[in-house]
Amino acid sequence: MAKDVLCEVNNCKYWGQGNKCHAEEIYVVSHRGDQASKSEETDCKTFVPEV
């Protein structure tokens, strides 16, 4: 399991200094069902805009 989860989307509610993600869980989905060939075919569903 990854020790640190990094994220550059600094308008996300879970974004922290040093590009650290502070979400308890990360949910990533594929645009093509249950498989992806490259990162561009995926999305992070954990993202929540900072209010």
User: Containing domain of residue 48, as a range?
Assistant: 1-51
Q: What integer pLDDT is reported at residue 2 of this predicted model?
A: 80
The answer for residues whose C-beta is within 8 angstroms of residue 48's C-beta and 6 or more apart is 12, 13, 14
Grouped pLDDT means (10 residues each) for the chain, 51 residues: 91 97 96 94 96 87
3-state class (DSSP) for residue 41: helix
The total domain count for the chain is: 1
Q: What integer pLDDT is reported at residue 51 of this predicted model?
A: 87
Q: What integer pLDDT is reported at residue 27 of this predicted model?
A: 96
Q: What integer pLDDT is reported at residue 34 of this predicted model?
A: 92
